[in-house]
Amino acid sequence: MINVIGLGYIGLPTALMLASHGVEVVGTDYNKELVDTLNAGKTTFKEDGLDELFAAAVKAGIRFTTEYQVTDMYIVSVPTPYDKKSKKVDASYVNAAVKDVLNVCPLNATIVIESTISPGTIDKYVRPEIQATGFTIGRDINLVHAPERIIPGNMVYELKHNNRTIGADNREIGEKVKDIYASFCEGEITVTDIKTAEMTKVVENTFRDINIAFANELAKICRSDNMDVYEIIRIANKHPRVNILTPGPGVGGHCISVDPWFLVGDYPGLANIILAARKINDSMPEFVLKRISEIMKENNITDYNRVGLYGLTYKENVDDVRESPTLQLLESMRDHLAPELKVYDPYVAKKITSNQILSFDEFIKDIDLVVIMVGHKQLKESLPLFKNKIIFDTRYTGLFDKAYYL
């Protein structure tokens, strides 16, 4: 049996995938309300294919509880935020979960850390926690790192098809964990050491962040000198070895916007390009706010109540609002003591910010300027309702005949 600890955006799909492929699984989370919802037969967030996967896992016998189980393998998938002052990973959730596992696990149990962590986190935080209890790592407890590699909106497919990395102290233990993941993963599974696995995951997301930052910096440069950044990128990308991304309003989610900070925090003075990229991407919501002011002035709009932000999530067609550029923009307005703009998102059913409108019809009828922060599929389905509105399309969706862009 495998006890999956943490039933959020990563832990739940992982637990369901294992269970639906014949592995006995118990999912554990400290949040009783979340566990009760799962035991009532309902998933806790929206994701393509998740409900079907949930049904298959329940049929296969998956169980959900707030209690840690006595078993020989644990998969820890809890949050790993970063300290916004030091930029270092906050390993407190991982350590707390490991400590609770150690209270119940038998000798020779394997603890798999699936949470994304900075290189060296297991050495600095997890090993000392285990050793302080009197366990000997490699004899009494086996440690493994198996970082997740999936993206909201395509989780179920990517869990099954993406390549995976298993980091272990002991090759034999690594191969055993590989066999568990191979029960559902059709991608290549590489076994390596723990620190390499930690670093590989962070580097993957940092690479993406730097490439996004280059596109966003181009947008700022081109805006300053009245050039069309999208046309410039389109032509530059005709070069066989150039692939510039499309600029956007910022970087959200728990991976790309967070993981690079781990390297900045752990390697000050060395992670210079990474730091610059983070600053550029974090500055984009403020840049969008400046563009909103320019567009308002150009169109003689003086009332912020006539401006609405479409999209609260960090990417299209998901309900995940972690590190959302829209929320960052609203926070920036609060810092400037500016009135909060109206905001709507078809995937966010509960109010999470004061000026959020839950009805699309109500949102669209009372505004003159619509700022597209997220390119949800609802946009294409609702195009007639955007007629006669001024559009600022920060995502360059290509859906509008006439629009302002970054």
Average pLDDT per 10 consecutive residues for the chain, totaling 406 residues? 96 97 97 97 91 96 97 96 83 95 96 94 94 93 94 90 96 97 96 96 95 98 97 98 97 90 92 97 96 96 94 93 94 83 94 93 94 95 92 97 96
All domains of the chain in start order, with CATH: 2-192 (3.40.50.720), 247-393 (3.40.50.720)
Count Cβ atoms within 10 A of the Cβ of residue 85 and give its class: 0-12 exposed, 13-18 middle, 19 or more buried: exposed
Whole-number pLDDT of residue 31: 96
Whole-number pLDDT of residue 336: 78
Mean pLDDT for the chain? 94
Whole-number pLDDT of residue 316: 93
Rounded to whole angstroms, the Cα distance separating 312 from 289 reads: 15
- 213: CB partners within 8 A, 6+ apart: 276, 277, 278, 280, 281
Catalytic residue positions, numbered: 201, 255
pTM of the model: 0.91
- 292: CB partners within 8 A, 6+ apart: 307, 341, 369, 371, 392
Whole-number pLDDT of residue 149: 86
Rounded to whole angstroms, the Cα distance separating 326 from 99 reads: 36
Whole-number pLDDT of residue 275: 97
Whole-number pLDDT of residue 46: 86
Whole-number pLDDT of residue 331: 92
| Helix or strand (DSSP H, E) at 145 | strand 141-145
Whole-number pLDDT of residue 338: 77
Whole-number pLDDT of residue 152: 82
